[in-house]
Chain A
Amino acid sequence: MQQSLPQDQAAKLSRRSLLAGSLCLLVLPLSGDPAEATPESMAEAMAQALGRDPSIKAGRVKVELPELAENGNSVPLKISVESPMSAADHVKMIYVFSEQNPVANVVRFHLGPRSGAARVRTTIRLAATQRITVVAQMSDGSLWSGGANVVVTQAACFDGT
Chain B
Amino acid sequence: MPATRIVVPAKANKGDVIEIKTLINHVMETGFRHDNFGKPIPRDIITRFTCTYAGEEVFRMDLFTGVAANPFVAFTTIATETGDLVFEWTDQHNAVTRAQAHIIVT
Q: Which residues of A contact B (CB under 8 A)?
A: 35, 73-75, 96, 98, 101-103, 105-112, 114-117, 119-125, 156-160
Contact = CB atoms under 8 A, between A and B. Distances in A.
- Size class of the contact patch on chain B: 20 to 34
A107 B66 contact: yes
Given A158-B33, A160-B33, A107 B75 contact: no
B93 interface: no
A43 B59 CA distance: 26
B61 to A, nearest CB: 5
Nearest to B73: A122
A123 B77 contact: no
Interface of B: 17-19, 30, 32-35, 41, 53, 56, 58-69, 71-78, 80
A119 B76 contact: yes
A119 B63 CA distance: 17
Contacts of B59: 109-111, 115
A107 B61 contact: yes
Contacts of A110: 59-62
Contact of A125 (B41, B56, B65, B76): B65
Contacts of B66: 96, 98, 101, 103, 105-107, 124-125
Given A111-B59, A115-B59, A74 B68 contact: yes
B57 to A, nearest CB: 8
Contact of A120 (B58, B62, B65, B73): B73
Contacts of B75: 109, 111, 115, 119-121
Contact of B34 (A102, A122, A160): A160
Given A117-B76, A119-B75, A75 B62 contact: no
Given A108-B62, A109-B61, A109-B75, A73 B68 contact: yes
Give 6 closest A-B pairs by Cβ, nearest first.
A106-B66, A116-B17, A160-B34, A110-B60, A74-B68, A121-B74
Nearest to A119: B76
Give the residue among A102, A107, A115 with the most B Cβ atoms within 10 A. Answer: A107
Contacts of A109: 59-62, 75
A123 B68 contact: yes
Given A102-B30, A103-B64, A160-B34, A121 B56 contact: no
